């Protein structure tokens, strides 16, 4: 495994940080997931829930796990520490003495308030690579602002051409891959210099980077919100169209040779010079043609004549598609939740991914004892906290119905 022997301590929560460490875990890194003792990562309670209970933890109580947690936390080791308590912070610092990487996604300034700011940690552990993942970065007027993927995209301009919620969490996902790349590069550099570094990964930066074709279009002049770009619906040869059966088809005849072939096949030779037309009336003509046949009919025509175009599939349909099935990126585990394999092969082999999701705090005693670290006492769960957890579980069950 490329990252075998790399030890990561993960303080992150939700999607971007855990995805970062999951990527690195798939490549062989050992990840210690530090979780709040009473609830853990919020994805654990996010519906839909797995059909089978997670492995019992220290409490010996089996609990169902959110399917997003199954995707993100499988392969991690869970250590429950209350960082608001001195004993929890001391245990974390002791673990960092044996770590190569620390990943955190707390709001800028929070680590400093805990006495764990990167500057101090780097003085104590010069070889440590610290990756701070935040919405708007550690600097700038928006650094302390609350946000989510949608707001990061909005600020970065990646929603400009189509001002609507994206089908993918672009900032979160590209931010995770950017962070994983930066961490790997930092480890490579450390191998020669012996020094770690502090990585400041802003999700809004990643969202802005993802719209690089939009930035290229700005060379021709500023574009307003809603101004379709060539690759985001601005030209008729590269667009998603409704079909006769209520489905959708992605037409992607971007190169002139493909557009010419398409026009000839559908007996619309007069359309050939209008490939990049911005006239709404012509876009409507192409849309009318595409709506005259079923999704399957268009798929067969494009496959027969080697044209770039594919039916728009649901996730369930995509999983069953022969190409996707052959690549075996997706599968369902015994707990009923899906798993995603690392999306690249090394010498023809995909890195092995484990399905097992650790129970909250399952490895706390084992990991801390192995390093001679006292196991902090977890305060008894208050009645208010227990009621809150019960209500969260009830809401998850109702939502999943």
How far from the centroid of its chain's Cα atoms is residue 201's Cα? Answer: 14
Quote the number of domains for the chain. 2
> Does residue 339 belong to any structural domain of this protein?
yes
How far from the centroid of its chain's Cα atoms is residue 167's Cα? Answer: 13
Q: Is residue 317 helix, strand or coil?
A: helix
Q: Which residue, 285, 283, 340, 295, is CA-closest to 315? A: 340
Domain that holds residue 392: 7-210+335-400
Q: Which residue, 19, 27, 6, 42, is CA-closest to 360? A: 42
Rounded Cα distance, 191 and 197, in Å: 12
Per-residue pLDDT at 400: 43
CA atoms within 13 A on the CB side of 250: 9
Average pLDDT for 28-42: 96
Rounded Cα distance, 79 and 25, in Å: 16
Do 265 and 186 sit in the same domain of this protein?
no
Do 80 and 157 sit in the same domain of this protein?
yes
pLDDT band with cut points at 50, 70 and 90 for residue 335: confident
How far from the centroid of its chain's Cα atoms is residue 67's Cα? Answer: 14
**Helices assigned H by DSSP within 74-169:** 86-96, 110-113, 118-124, 149-156
Is it the case that residue 399 has pLDDT exceeding 60? no
> Does residue 345 belong to any structural domain of this protein?
yes
Is it the case that residue 168 has pLDDT exceeding 90? yes
Rounded Cα distance, 14 and 395, in Å: 18
List of residues 6+ apart from 72 with CB closer than 8 A:
15, 18, 19, 22, 41, 43
Do 237 and 190 sit in the same domain of this protein?
no
Average pLDDT for 165-187: 97
Per-residue pLDDT at 336: 86
Per-residue pLDDT at 392: 54
The predicted-structure confidence for 230-266, as pLDDT tens digits, reads as follows 999 999 999 999 999 999 999 999 999 999 999 999 9
> Does residue 329 belong to any structural domain of this protein?
no
Per-residue pLDDT at 378: 67
Is it the case that residue 289 has pLDDT exceeding 90? yes
Mean pLDDT in the chain? 91
Per-residue pLDDT at 63: 65
Is it the case that residue 401 has pLDDT exceeding 50? no
Q: Which residue, 384, 27, 46, is CA-closest to 180? A: 27
Do 256 and 183 sit in the same domain of this protein?
no
Pairing between β-strand 30-35 and β-strand 238-242 as defined by DSSP bridges: unpaired
The predicted-structure confidence for 125-165, as pLDDT tens digits, reads as follows 999 999 999 999 999 999 999 999 999 999 999 999 999 99
Q: What is the CATH number of the domain that holds 166?
A: 3.40.50.10540
pLDDT more than 70, % of the chain:
91
Is it the case that residue 54 has pLDDT exceeding 70? no
Per-residue pLDDT at 352: 84
Do 252 and 156 sit in the same domain of this protein?
no
Is it the case that residue 195 has pLDDT exceeding 90? yes
Average pLDDT for 344-358: 91
Under 8 Å between Cβ of 65 and 339: no
Per-residue pLDDT at 380: 52
Per-residue pLDDT at 382: 41
Q: Is residue 19 helix, strand or coil?
A: helix
Per-residue pLDDT at 362: 94
> Does residue 387 belong to any structural domain of this protein?
yes
> Does residue 64 belong to any structural domain of this protein?
yes
Per-residue pLDDT at 51: 73
Do 367 and 290 sit in the same domain of this protein?
no
pLDDT band with cut points at 50, 70 and 90 for residue 393: low
Under 8 Å between Cβ of 359 and 75: no
């Amino acid at each position: 495994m490329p990252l075998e022997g790399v030890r990561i301590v993960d303080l992150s929560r939700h999607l971007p940080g855990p995805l970062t460490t999951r990527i690195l875990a798939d490549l062989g890194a050992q990840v210690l997931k530090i979780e709040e003792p009473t609830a853990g990562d919020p994805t654990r309670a996010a519906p839909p829930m797995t059909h089978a209970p997670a492995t019992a933890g220290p409490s010996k109580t089996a609990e169902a796990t959110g399917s997003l947690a199954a995707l993100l936390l499988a392969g991690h080791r869970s250590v429950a520490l209350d960082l608001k308590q001195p004993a929890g912070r001391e245990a974390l610092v002791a673990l960092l003495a044996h770590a190569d990487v620390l990943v955190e996604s707390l709001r800028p300034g929070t680590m400093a308030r805990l006495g764990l700011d990167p500057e101090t940690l780097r003085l104590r552990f010069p070889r440590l690579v610290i990756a701070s993942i935040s919405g708007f970065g550690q600097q700038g007027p928006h650094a302390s602002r609350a946000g989510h993927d949608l707001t990061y995209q909005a600020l970065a301009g990646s929603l400009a051409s189509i001002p609507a919620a994206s089908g993918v969490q672009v900032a979160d996902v590209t931010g995770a891959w950017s962070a994983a790349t930066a961490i790997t590069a930092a480890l490579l550099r450390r191998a020669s210099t012996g020094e770690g570094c502090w990585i400041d990964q802003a999700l809004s930066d990643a969202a802005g980077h993802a719209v690089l074709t939009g930035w290229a279009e700005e060379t021709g002049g500023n574009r307003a919100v809603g101004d379709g770009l060539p690759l985001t619906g601005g030209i008729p040869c590269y667009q998603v169209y409704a079909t006769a059966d209520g489905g959708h088809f992605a037409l992607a005849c971007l190169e002139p040779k493909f557009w010419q072939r398409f026009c000839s096949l559908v007996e619309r030779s007069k359309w050939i010079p209008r490939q990049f037309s911005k006239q709404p009336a012509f876009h409507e003509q192409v849309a009318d043609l595409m709506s005259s046949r079923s999704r399957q009919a268009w798929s067969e025509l494009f496959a027969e004549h080697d044209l770039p175009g594919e039916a728009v599939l649901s996730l369930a349909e995509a999983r069953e598609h022969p190409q996707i099935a052959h690549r075996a990126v997706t599968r369902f585990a015994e707990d009923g939740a899906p798993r995603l394999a690392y999306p690249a092969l090394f010498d023809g082999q995909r890195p092995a991914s484990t399905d097992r999701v650790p129970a909250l705090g399952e490895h706390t005693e084992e990991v801390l004892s192995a390093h001679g670290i006292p196991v902090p006492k977890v305060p008894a769960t208050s009645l208010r906290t227990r009621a809150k957890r019960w209500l969260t579980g009830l809401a998850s069950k109702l939502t999943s119905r």
